[in-house]
Structure 1
Amino acid sequence: MPVPDPDTIPSVALLARAGAARERLREALSHANVAIVLEEDPNSLDAALLLAVAPQAVVVALEAAVDDALERLEPVLSSPGFLLVFDEAEVAARRDGWDAQRWGRHLAAKLHGHQQVLPPGAEQEQALLPEPGLPQTPAQAHADAGIDPHVDEAADVAGTLPGDSLHDRRQGDDVLTLEQALAAMQDTVPLAPAAATAAPGGHPATDVNDHSSWSLLDEDAAPAAASTVTAQALPVFDLDRLSLVEMEEPATGPRRGARGAVLVLAGIGGPDALRRLLSELPSRLSVPVLVHMPLDGARYGNLVKQMARVSALPVTLAEPEQPVEPGQVHILSDAVGVELRNGGLCFIASSAGLQVSSLPAAESAVILLSGADLLQVDPALTLAEAGAWVGGQVGEGCYDPAAATAVVAAGMFAGEPQELARAVAARWAIDEEQQP
Structure 2
Amino acid sequence: MTCWGSPVHASDAPTLLSVALLARPGPARDRLREALAHAGARVVLEDDPNTLDLQSLRDADPGAVLIALEPAIEDALERLDPVLGSPSLTLIFDEAELAARRDGWEAQRWARHLVAKLHGHQDVLPPGSEQDQQLQPEPGLPVTPAQLHADAPLEFHLREAEDAASDVPADGLYQVPAELSEPVSLEEALAALQPVDADPVASPIPPIPASTPPAAAAVSIGDHSRWSLVEEDAVVATSTSASGPALEPERFDTERLSLVELEPEAGPDGGCPGAVLVLAGIGGPDALRRLLAALPATLTTAVLVHMRLDGGRYGNLVKQMARVSALPVLLAEDAQAVAAGQAYILPDDIGIAVRQGGLHFIADPAGIQIEALPARHSGVVLLSGADAAQVDAVLALASAGAWVAGQVGEGCYDPTAASAVVVAGQDAGEPPQLAATIAERWGVDA
Distance in 1, matches of 2:59 and 2:93, equals: 21
TM-fit CA distance, 1:80:
3.1
Letter matched to residue 44 of structure 1: T
Q: 2:300 aligns with which of 256, 281, 286?
A: 286
On the 8 A contact 2:348/2:366 being kept in 1, the answer is yes
1:293-317: CA deviation from partner (whole Å, max 9, x where unpaired): 1112221111111001111111111
Q: Percent identity?
A: 66
SS at match of 1:44: coil
Q: CA 1:330 to 1:6, structure 2 compared with 1: closer, same or farther past 3 Å?
A: farther
Q: 2:379 aligns with which of 348, 359, 365?
A: 365
- Residue equivalent to 2:331: 317
Distance in 2, matches of 1:389 and 1:414, equals: 11
Is residue 14 of structure 1 aligned with residue 21 of structure 2?
yes
Distance in 2, matches of 1:40 and 1:283, equals: 35
On the 8 A contact 1:256/1:342 being kept in 2, the answer is no
SS at match of 1:284: coil
On the 8 A contact 1:370/1:401 being kept in 2, the answer is yes
Letter matched to residue 307 of structure 1: M
- Residue equivalent to 2:289: 275
- Residue equivalent to 2:398: 384
Letter matched to residue 51 of structure 1: R
On the 8 A contact 2:122/2:409 being kept in 1, the answer is no
Distance in 1, matches of 2:369 and 2:376, equals: 16
On the 8 A contact 2:385/2:415 being kept in 1, the answer is yes
- Residue equivalent to 2:342: 328
- Residue equivalent to 1:146: none
SS at match of 2:376: helix
SS at match of 2:86: coil
Range that drifts further, 331-340 or 274-283? 331-340
SS at match of 1:33: coil
SS at match of 2:380: strand
TM-fit CA distance, 1:118:
4.5
Is residue 39 of structure 1 aligned with residue 46 of structure 2?
yes
Distance in 2, matches of 1:20 and 1:305, equals: 25
Is residue 24 of structure 1 aligned with residue 31 of structure 2?
yes
Q: 1:257 aligns with which of 246, 263, 271?
A: 271
On the 8 A contact 2:113/2:411 being kept in 1, the answer is no
TM-fit CA distance, 1:340:
1.6
On the 8 A contact 1:6/1:114 being kept in 2, the answer is no
Residues 9-408 of structure 1: pairs in structure 2 closer than 5 A? 9-120=16-127, 254=268, 257-408=271-422
On the 8 A contact 1:255/1:342 being kept in 2, the answer is no
Letter matched to residue 399 of structure 1: Y
Distance in 1, matches of 2:427 and 2:433, equals: 10
Distance in 1, matches of 2:288 and 2:89, equals: 17
1:76-113: CA deviation from partner (whole Å, max 9, x where unpaired): 21223321111223433344444444433333332233
Q: CA 1:335 to 1:98, structure 2 compared with 1: closer, same or farther past 3 Å?
A: farther
Distance in 2, matches of 1:301 and 1:103, equals: 26
On the 8 A contact 1:336/1:353 being kept in 2, the answer is yes
SS at match of 2:39: coil
TM-fit CA distance, 1:57:
1.6
Distance in 1, matches of 2:146 and 2:71, equals: 58
Letter matched to residue 263 of structure 1: L
TM-fit CA distance, 1:337:
1.6
Q: How many residues align?
A: 307
SS at match of 1:291: strand
On the 8 A contact 2:269/2:337 being kept in 1, the answer is no
SS at match of 2:76: helix
Unpaired stretches in structure 2, ≥5 consecutive residues:
1-11, 132-143, 151-266
1:259-282: CA deviation from partner (whole Å, max 9, x where unpaired): 110001111211111111111111
Distance in 2, matches of 1:17 and 1:102, equals: 23
Distance in 2, matches of 1:6 and 1:427, equals: 41
Letter matched to residue 260 of structure 1: G
Unpaired stretches in structure 1, ≥5 consecutive residues:
125-134, 142-252, 432-436
When the two chains are superposed, the root-mean-square deviation of aligned CA atoms in Å is 2.9
Larger radius of gyration, structure 1 or 2?
1
Distance in 2, matches of 1:266 and 1:71, equals: 24
TM-score scaled to structure 2, two decimals? Answer: 0.62
On the 8 A contact 1:6/1:113 being kept in 2, the answer is no
